[in-house]
Amino acid sequence: MTLHRNINRLIAENKPSEQNKVSAQIEFRSVTKMYGEVCAVKELSLAVRRGEFLTILGPSGSGKTTALMMLAGFTAPTSGDILIAGKSVAAVPSYRRDQGIVFQGYALFPHLTVHRNLEFPLEMRGMKAAERAIQVDRMLERVHLKGFGGRMPSQLSGGQQQRVALSRALIADPPLLLLDEPLGALDRNLREQMQVEIKSLHREFGKTTICVTHDQEEALTLSDRIVVMRAGEIEQIDTPEALYDRPATRFAAEFLGEANFLEPPGFQAESDVAPPLGTVAMLRPERICVAERGAPRRVDADQRQFVCGIVEDMIYAGPLRKYQVRAGDSVVIVREHVAADQQIFRPGEEVRLNWLRSDVRFVAA
């Protein structure tokens, strides 16, 4: 009898998240956050699987940081509910939520040494000093900072500070890792190194990770799934590949990578297919081929669309060559990989652009 009731209750408790099954570790249920009249996050619903690396991507003011701060417990939602491991955390203060956070400016305690910084979360969990020292040393070794324990944070380089911040978030083994613009303060080379480092740490520790960023490259390289946010609402959720290849909206297409929009009034393709109502044809710059105006037609010509134009600008960027081609009223961006026996077009030359009909995507305008 009792058993029966328990099972019933279990079923009832799990019902709302049934479609995500037990694997959903974090769930936003129509969460809204208002700052006075301004709506920072609007009816956000989102489920994150255990062990998943999810990136929230969006321009500043899109509500991504607010969403993260609500998950961390630093701001309370105006309405809606946030669940961690199936339990509402509305009444749980931030210091009782088990999570590691890497802050935008790292927030390393400037008055404590690296060792004491790493020790802090362990100390708060009541671990004995001897054991703490072992853990800290192991962690420092893992992130290649052995021997740096006695330094103050101000004596470290940006990359080293970043690694200390990451280790401090991970050392107490919380089930959840939150990253707030983790690589924003680093220069380009270091950023690429740290992306690799974060990726490997994620593989090794397998933490459910939520990362907030406005850097598309960071989002593409790190994530299992990307949430594109715009003005407090989710624009699209998908894997990096799907998001890049099949963006749902014009905003998503533009925010993640470069995009050409083939819009009817200014743009007349030789053989055009009218896009469905309310959508616009989108083409990634690297899908377009450049050829001489009088070049012989290719074999697969019946599968291609052709447009003539004049080269306005050519930019050489290492492995890539970028053309800006004027076709009628529109400007088309073309990206070509640099190859040995490639024909180079100069500004003013007439060219014919062509692409596979199947590479054109229709996105919501």
Partner 1 sequence: MKTLREFGRMPIALTGPALAVLLIVFGIPIVQLFLISFNAPAFSIANYEAFFGPPANVRVLLQTIEISVVATAICLLIAYPTAYLIAAASKRLRMALIVLVLVPYLTSGLVRTYAWIVILGDGGLINNLLLDHGLISSPRPLIYNRMAVYIGMVHIMLPMMILPLVSVMMGIDKSLMSAARSMGARPSTAFWRVFFPLSMPGVRSGCLLVFVICLGFYITPAALGGLGDAMLSTFIASQVRSSFDMGRLAASAFVLLTVAIVMLAIVGLDLSGTSRRTVQPSLKSRHSLSPLFAMMKRFVGEFFIPYRAKRWMAQLYRAGGDSRWLQLVGVTFLVLVMCYLLFPELLVVIMSFSAGKYLEFPPSGFSLQWYRSFFGNPAWYAAAWTSTQVGVMVAILSTIVGTLAAVGLNRTLPHLRSFLTMVMLAPITFPVIIVGIATYLGLVKLGLLGSMTGIVLAHTIGAIGYVVVIVSASLANFDPQLEQAAMSMRAGPLQTFIRVTLPLIRPGIIGGAVFAFLHSFDEVVITSLVAGISMRTLPLKMWEDIRHQIDPTIAAVATLLILLPLFILMILFVTGWRSTLGLQRARPATAA
Contact residues toward partner 1 (CB under 8 A) are 72-74, 93-101, 103-111, 120-121, 124-125, 152-154, 158, 161, 168-169, 172, 178, 185
CB closer to partner 1, 112 vs 364: 112
The per-residue DSSP string of 278-342 comes to TEEEEE-GGG-EEEETTPPPPTTGGGEEEEEEEEEEEEEETTEEEEEEEETTEEEEEEEE--TT-
The distance of closest approach from Cβ of residue 172 to partner 1 in the complex, given in angstroms and rounded to an integer, is: 7
- Where helices occur in the chain by DSSP H, the ranges are 2-14, 64-72, 114-124, 129-142, 158-170, 188-205, 216-222, 240-245, 250-255
In sequence order, the 6+-apart residues with CB closer than 8 A to the CB of 185 are 104, 105, 106, 158, 162
CB closer to partner 1, 105 vs 276: 105
The distance of closest approach from Cβ of residue 153 to partner 1 in the complex, given in angstroms and rounded to an integer, is: 5
CB closer to partner 1, 178 vs 353: 178
The distance of closest approach from Cβ of residue 191 to partner 1 in the complex, given in angstroms and rounded to an integer, is: 15
CB closer to partner 1, 95 vs 296: 95
The distance of closest approach from Cβ of residue 183 to partner 1 in the complex, given in angstroms and rounded to an integer, is: 14
The distance of closest approach from Cβ of residue 71 to partner 1 in the complex, given in angstroms and rounded to an integer, is: 11
CB closer to partner 1, 91 vs 277: 91
Tokens of 136: 């800290």
Helix (H, G, I), strand (E, B) or coil at 181: coil
Helix (H, G, I), strand (E, B) or coil at 231: coil
The distance of closest approach from Cβ of residue 180 to partner 1 in the complex, given in angstroms and rounded to an integer, is: 9
CB closer to partner 1, 99 vs 249: 99
State the Cα–Cα distance between residues 8 and 4, nearest whole angstrom.
6
State the Cα–Cα distance between residues 132 and 137, nearest whole angstrom.
9
